[in-house]
Homo-oligomer: A and B are copies of this chain.
Amino acid sequence: MTNTTPRLLDEQLCFAFYSASKKFNHFYQDALKPFHLTYPQYITMLALWETSPMTVRELGSHLNLDSGTLTPLLKRLEKQGWITRTRSEQYERQVNVNLTDYALEERDNVYARVNDCIDLMKMTGVDYDHLLNQIHEVMDELDQIRQKDLIKEA
């Protein structure tokens, strides 16, 4: 018996994640326009506002991004005055990412703006905790599959 059609629900689920992710991206793009921050830049700043300094590697493991993505992104944040990048003195091979005074000053303004925009959504029909759980369940499945053989060969 051959499969002549893809499994509809999985397809729909994947496409839903794909679409929702893009929509959230636009949402933050709009919300953060006053600060000229994209969503990836924003979550980078969020991580740094929580813990700083961090090395590129540490940031990457928080955000699941590698240096190929982070290095240019961090250069843009640096150029816009949010962060500084300095080689660590003890370990020349790593780079410490630090917040600027500007970033510390603007933090609460950014938070307030994001919260104001989020308040526009009235997520009445959404059970956050359950939804988050289900998404993490799916992600765990996907992580486990990467370990297996079938998907790796070819």
- Residues of chain A touching chain B, judged by Cβ–Cβ distance below 8 Å, are 2-7, 9-28, 30-31, 33-34, 39, 43, 46, 64, 108, 111-112, 114-118, 120-123, 125-132, 134-139, 141-146, 148, 150-152, 154
Given A3-B112, A11-B46, A24-B142: A17 in contact with B135 (beta carbons within 8 A): yes
B30/A21 in contact, CB under 8 A:
no
A64's nearest neighbour on chain B, judged by CB, is B19
Residues on the B chain within 8 Å of A128, using CB: 9, 13
Q: Are A120 and B33 touching (Cβ within 8 A)?
A: no
Contact present for B2 and A108 (CB under 8 Å): yes
Contacting residues, chain B, for A154 (C-beta < 8 A): 33-34
The answer to whether A127 touches B134 (Cβ under 8 A) is yes
Q: Tell me whether A145 and B126 are in contact in the complex, defined as CB-CB below 8 angstroms, given that A3-B115, A39-B18 are known contacts.
A: no
- Is the Cβ of B145 less than 8 Å from the Cβ of A120? yes
Q: Which residue of B lies closest to A4 (CB)?
A: B108
